Amino acid sequence: MDLARLSPDLKELRRRNRALGMVVGLLSVCLLLSLVLIVRILGTERTVVTPPNLSKSFWVVSGKASASWLEQMGSYVAWLILDVSPATIDWKKDELLSWVAPDHHGQLKIRQEVEAERLKRMNASTSFLPQQFVPSEETQSVVVRGRVKTLVNGQETSTESKSYVAEFQYAGGRPLLRTFKEIPHDQQAAANGPASDGDAQPN
């Protein structure tokens, strides 16, 4: 046997074996990471939320949107804030905050976190049936009137007629919520105006 002639071949085979071993080791690590990722994905519940469905045409001029846009965004925001339960308020809070103007983000975030804690503690839920929208293009706001039903442990505890005002701004081609608050009874008369053609009608 010519060892001198075969020695380079043996070295080459050993080098190839080491390279293959490294490749196999790398593939094993990738496979392990893939399995961990798949397990994490399978164990995660994902809620997909789409932006509001704008069913009416609208216009925007110089940062001001039309009444139809205000109505539709007001309805969507009211649904996110007022139609909630312990199971939905967290993801609805996150969705709401994605529409909030930066300078009002912190205030609304704290308010919704407090409300989420309250609902979970009481095992309560609220539902909102909008009945009227009164938009104001001048102030970029909309008054939303409707009935709020409250349930605690599955039992209805109250049904009230309430009014809320949502104030918006349209900046950088994106709608942003500035504030959403209930209108006290002594201010509701001042907010009265002709209802829009698209008002929801009470049952």
> How does pLDDT run across 101-142, given as a tens digit for each residue?
999 999 999 999 999 999 999 999 999 999 999 999 889 999
pLDDT grade, residue 2 (50/70/90)?
Answer: low
Q: What is the pTM of this model?
A: 0.64
What are the distances in angstroms from CA 27 to CA 8, 40, 45, 183? 29, 20, 29, 63
pLDDT given at position 58: 56
Q: Provide φ and ψ at 2, rounded to 5°.
A: -90, 90
Nearest to 199 by CA among 116, 138, 143: 143
> pLDDT digit string (tens) for 38-77?
666 555 444 433 445 555 555 566 667 788 888 988 999 9
Alpha helix positions (H), 43-88:
67-82
Strand partners, 111: none
Amino acid, res. 188: Q
CB 143 within 8 A of CB 165: yes
3-class secondary structure, 193: coil
Work out the mean pLDDT of the chain and round it to a whole number: 80
